[in-house]
Amino acid sequence: MKFYLVIVILAVRIFEGCDCKMVQFIFGDSLSDVGNNKYLSKSLAQASLPWYGIDIGNGLPNGRFSNGRTVADIIGDNMGLPRPPAFLDPSLSEDVILENGVNYASGGGGILNETGSYFIQRFSLYKQIELFEGTQELIRSKIGKFEAEKFFQEARYVVALGSNDFINNYLMPLYSDSWTYNDETFIDYLVGTLQEQLKVLHSLGARQLMVFGLGPMGCIPLQRVLSTSGNCQEKTNKLALSFNKASSKVVNDLGKQLPNASYRFGDAYDVVNDVISNPSKYGFQNADSPCCSFGRIRPALTCIPASTLCKDRSKYVFWDEYHPSDKANELIATELIKKFGFKRVDQAETPSPSPEVAPSPSDD
């Protein structure tokens, strides 16, 4: 009787087996969104009209808040990882997830739930993690608990949020956080929340994870045009630097404390700041205004069919008031790849960690 039971268990294991690819799960905001907000019909944070997407694919809007690719697109391509589709993409299925992963990033989203509330609809990081838990349930049903655990622990994870927590929360008087906290206590609150979220992701299997810091957000066109001088807003940039310092420590500490965790902090501030400060060094002609705008009517906030485009999009660092152009994203991604030594997944020096605990046959 025991002999037959063993055969049945082995048969179940073979049936559940999955020759799964290494994929990415991306959590982020509009800098990484590849179409989630396009399916949030009430969201005011949209990239669903021309001229968004003009320099990628068929040239039609695809949900990316740029004229082309995101930094995550380019780094993933370089590493040989498939581009994960938006979570809300109607074509998403278990097979698609196993082949490509998922992108949960949402324009207007932040680390804090209250961030970007005036956009009406957006996914905060907590909501994105909740959606990821649902994804895990789907995959467990598809390939079994053991293989699903292995799949999620071998995946790569990207967390890239934070700028909205300042620009579309703390720095706007209409949000209570702007008068409840000062600079120091708000960053403590923000980074403390991020720390708990990263712990949750680890409990869900995230082992290979990169948290990206903030760039000089005081230098985006929107912040410049709102200043009296037209220069970068140094207060905003100092907040970005303080956030990076605090979150870097949290990420590095978690990498040491959590079992089998390879957690890294990607500080891109210097790279982006150099591009903005010395545009001609990188082949740009403009680093202070958007390529897509209403001419002298500023800020335009978004790019629409009635907007005027610059003559040469490759010469502009910024596509709209908030977001870099495809060319800038390409340069930033290339510099980050060099800075952090990202390698193709088929050239990794060490294998990804296996699940810590293999469940007994009776668990399935």
Q: Which residues are catalytic?
A: 30, 320, 323
What SS3 string covers 256-282?
A: HHCCCCEEEEECCHHHHHHHHHCHHHH
Nearest CA among 248, 243, 254 for reference residue 266: 248
Sign (positive/negative) of CA torsion 186, 189, 193, 199? positive
Question: Rounded distance, CA 69 to CA 59, Å?
Answer: 12
The answer to whether the beta carbons of residues 224 and 321 sit under 8 Å apart is no
Question: Rounded distance, CA 148 to CA 17, Å?
Answer: 9
Sign (positive/negative) of CA torsion 76, 288, 162, 241? positive
The kind and range of the H/E element at 73 are helix 71-78
Radius of gyration of the chain (CA): 21
Sign (positive/negative) of CA torsion 29, 32, 37, 39? negative
Q: Where are the alpha helices (DSSP H) in 208-268?
A: 221-225, 234-257
Pairing of strands 292-293, 308-309: antiparallel
